[in-house]
C-alpha cells in the first residue's frame, strides 16, 4: 500500500505466501533452502515474489529495517580519488552514529540493482547511493523497501533525500575564470556516460557560457575513461584538431588534466602561457604535478559525513530534501 510520500511498505513473506497459495514456511524455504521445495512450487513462489517486489530477509539476526546497525552504500568506481575522501567521511560519521558500513562496487546499472537488492536483503537501516541514474527496476525496489535513502553527488530530483554540490555553478566558475584571464578558444573535455549525471550536466552549461561570451561553443570532446592519463593525451589531440589555436581547457577530472599537462610537455606547449588548464576533483596529484593544477574542488568528505547525518535526521523528513555542500575553485599554476 502506497503512503503519502510515494513510498510503499516492504512486501512481507505472508503476502507472498497468500498470493502464491503456499505457507510462509514454503516461501522461506524457497529462498533459504530451495532444494527442499518442489520445482514447480519454487518457480511459482519466485514468480510471485518478483511481481510483488519481495526481497527475502537474508540478515542473520532477522532485524527489522530501521533497527539494524548496518548502512548500505554503493560505489561506482574505485579509481576516483574523491571517492576515497567521500568514503572516509561516510565511515567517520557512521562510527559516530554507532553504525557500520557495507560497501558494494557497482560499475553498471545492472550491478547496482543486484547490490541494492542484496543490501535490502540484509535489512540495512539506510542506503546511501551515488547519483540517481537508476534503472526503473532499482527505483521500484527502493520505493517498495521503505528504507531511508540518500543519493549523493547531486542536488536535484532525489527519490528521498540528496546531498552534493551545484555542478552547473562549478562549470560556470571554471568558464568565467578562463574568460577573465583573456582566454578565447576554450575547450571542454567531457565524459558522455548515460549513467553519470555528474558528467552529463557539464556540456550544456559550458555551451551557454561560451555563447554568452561570444565564443565558440562547440570545442567539446568526449573521453571514454575519465580516470586515465591517456585520455588527456587523446583529448588534447582531438581539441587541437578542432582548433589549432586552442588556449584553454576544462577537464572532467584531475587525472585527465594531468594527462593533458604531460602531453603539452611532450609537445613543448607551455602551460599556462599557451594553454590554461582547469581540472576537477582536487585529487592528490593536483598539488603534486608541475605546474600545479588549478581545479574545481568539491567537498567529498563533507558529502560523505553529511549523507549519514541526513539519513537519520528526524525532522523535516519529506522526500525531496537536499543539502548543498558547496565547492571551491582552487587557483594554482595551470590557469592564472
Q: What are phi and psi of 135, to 5 degrees?
A: -70, 160
Measured CA to CA, the distance from residue 263 to residue 232 in angstroms comes to 7
Q: What average pLDDT score do residues 204-231 get? A: 95
pLDDT tens-digit readout, 44-61: 998 998 888 887 775 545
57: left (phi over 0), alpha (psi -120 to 50) or beta: beta
Reported as a single tens digit per residue, the pLDDT across 103-143 is 999 988 899 999 999 999 888 999 999 998 899 999 999 99
Per-residue confidence (pLDDT) for residue 128, from 0 to 100: 97
Top CATH class of 70-164+301-325 equals alpha beta
Q: Write the DSSP assignment of 183-230 as a string of letters.
A: --SEEEEE---TT-HHHHTHHHHHHHHHHHTT--S--EEE-S-TT-HH
226-239 average pLDDT score? 94
Neighbours of 254 (CB within 10 A): 29
Using the predicted structure, report yes or no on whether residue 64 has a pLDDT greater than 50: no
pLDDT confidence bin for 318, thresholds 50/70/90: low
Please, are residues 249 and 202 in contact by the beta-carbon 8 Å criterion? Answer: no
Over range 202-220, report the average pLDDT.
Answer: 98
Which CATH number applies to 167-297?
3.40.50.2300
Residue 62 reports pLDDT greater than 70: no
Question: Can you tell me the mean pLDDT for 212-234?
Answer: 94
- Please report which confidence band the pLDDT of residue 298 belongs to, taking 50, 70 and 90 as the band edges: very high
Ramachandran quadrant class, 275 (left: phi over 0; alpha: psi -120 to 50; beta: rest): beta
Average pLDDT over residues 92-96: 92
pLDDT at 63: 43
Q: Do domains 70-164+301-325 and 167-297 have the same CATH topology?
A: yes
For the cut 50, the answer to whether the pLDDT of residue 243 exceeds it is yes
Give the DSSP letter of residue 268.
Answer: T
- Give the whole-angstrom CA distance, residue 10 versus residue 70: 18
Which pLDDT band holds residue 220 (cuts at 50, 70, 90)?
A: very high
Q: What pLDDT, on the 0 to 100 scale, is given for residue 13?
A: 86
- Least-confidence region, from 75-79, 211-215, 281-285: 75-79
Query: pLDDT for 98-108, tens place per residue?
Result: 889 999 999 88
The residue ranges of every structural domain in the chain are: 13-63, 70-164+301-325, 167-297
Of the listed ranges 32-46, 153-167, 176-190, the one predicted with least confidence: 32-46
The domain 13-63: what is its CATH number? 1.10.260.40
8 falls in which pLDDT band (50, 70, 90)?
A: low
Summary mean pLDDT of the chain: 89
Residue 150: strand, helix, or coil: strand
Percentage of the chain lying above the pLDDT 70 cut: 91
Amino acid at each position: 500500500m502506497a503512503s503519502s510520500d510515494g513510498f510503499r511498505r516492504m512486501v512481507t513473506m505472508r503476502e507472498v505466501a497468500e498470493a502464491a497459495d503456499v505457507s510462509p514456511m514454503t516461501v522461506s524455504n524457497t529462498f533459504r533452502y530451495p532444494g527442499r521445495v518442489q520445482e514447480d512450487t519454487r518457480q511459482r513462489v519466485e514468480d510471485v515474489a518478483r511481481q510483488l517486489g519481495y526481497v527475502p530477509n537474508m540478515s542473520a539476526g532477522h532485524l527489522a529495517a530501521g533497527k539494524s546497525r548496518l548502512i548500505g552504500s554503493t560505489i561506482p568506481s574505485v579509481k576516483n580519488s574523491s571517492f576515497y575522501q567521500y568514503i572516509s567521511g561516510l565511515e567517520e560519521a557512521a562510527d559516530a552514529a554507532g553504525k557500520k558500513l557495507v560497501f558494494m562496487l557497482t560499475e553498471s546499472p545492472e550491478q547496482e540493482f543486484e547490490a541494492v537488492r542484496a543490501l535490502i536483503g540484509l535489512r540495512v537501516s539506510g542506503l546511501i547511493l551515488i547519483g540517481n541514474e537508476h534503472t526503473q527496476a532499482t527505483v521500484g525496489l527502493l520505493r517498495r523497501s521503505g528504507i531511508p535513502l540518500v543519493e549523493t553527488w547531486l542536488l536535484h530530483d532525489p527519490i528521498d533525500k540528496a546531498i552534493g554540490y551545484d555542478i552547473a555553478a562549478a562549470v560556470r566558475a571554471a568558464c568565467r575564470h578562463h574568460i577573465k584571464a583573456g582566454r578565447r578558444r576554450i575547450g571542454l573535455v567531457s565524459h558522455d556516460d548515460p549513467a553519470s549525471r555528474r558528467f552529463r550536466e557539464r556540456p550544456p552549461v559550458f555551451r551557454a557560457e561560451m555563447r554568452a561570451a561570444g565564443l565558440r561553443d562547440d570545442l567539446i570532446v568526449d573521453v571514454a575513461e575519465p580516470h586515465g592519463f591517456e585520455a588527456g593525451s587523446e583529448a588534447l589531440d582531438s581539441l587541437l584538431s578542432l582548433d589549432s589555436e586552442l588556449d584553454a581547457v576544462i577537464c572532467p577530472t584531475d587525472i585527465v588534466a594531468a594527462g593533458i599537462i604531460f602531453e603539452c610537455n611532450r609537445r613543448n606547449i607551455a602551460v599556462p602561457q599557451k594553454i590554461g588548464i582547469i581540472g576537477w576533483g582536487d585529487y592528490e596529484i593536483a598539488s603534486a604535478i608541475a605546474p600545479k593544477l588549478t581545479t574545481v574542488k568539491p567537498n567529498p568528505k563533507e558529502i560523505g559525513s553529511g549523507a549519514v547525518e541526513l539519513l537519520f535526521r528526524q525532522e523535516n523528513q519529506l522526500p525531496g530534501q537536499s543539502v548543498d555542500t558547496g565547492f571551491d575553485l582552487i587557483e594554482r599554476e595551470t590557469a592564472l
